[in-house]
C-alpha cells in the first residue's frame, strides 16, 4: 500500500510540473529544500513530533521566500537601528 501511495504522489507531482512557471518551480524547490532542512535539523536535535512539524513548515516557508527574493535579485540589509532596507544583491 505504501509503495502505491508513493508512486501516485510521484506521478501527480510530475504532472503538476508541466503547469508551473519558472518562478513557481523555484518557489516549490525552495520550499522542499527548506522543509527538508527543517526536518533534518529537528530530528538531529531530538525534537518531539510537534516541534518537528513546526520546524518543517517554518523551513518550507523560509525556503519559498528565499527563492522568491532571488527571483527579484533583492536582498535585505540591516541599518543597525533595527530596521531593514532592500537593495540589489551583490
pLDDT tens-place values along the chain, 90 residues long: 566 766 776 666 666 656 666 667 777 787 888 888 888 888 899 888 888 888 888 888 888 777 666 667 777 777 778 777 777 766
Provide Rg for the chain, Cα atoms. Answer: 17
For residue 46, what is its C-alpha cell? 531530538
Strands 74-78 and 84-88: antiparallel
- Alpha-carbon dihedral angle through residues 21, 27, 30, 31, given to the nearest 10 degrees: -120
In contact, 89 and 74? CB cutoff 8 Å: yes
Amino acid at each position: 500500500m505504501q509503495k502505491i501511495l508513493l508512486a501516485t504522489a510521484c506521478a501527480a507531482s510530475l504532472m503538476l510540473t508541466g503547469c508551473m512557471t519558472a518562478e513557481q518551480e523555484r518557489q516549490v524547490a525552495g520550499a522542499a529544500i527548506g522543509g527538508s532542512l527543517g526536518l533534518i535539523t529537528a530530528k538531529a536535535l531530538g525534537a518531539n513530533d510537534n516541534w518537528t512539524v513546526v520546524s518543517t513548515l517554518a523551513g518550507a516557508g523560509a525556503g519559498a521566500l528565499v527563492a522568491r527574493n532571488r527571483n527579484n535579485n533583492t536582498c535585505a540589509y540591516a541599518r543597525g537601528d533595527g530596521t531593514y532596507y532592500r537593495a540589489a544583491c551583490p
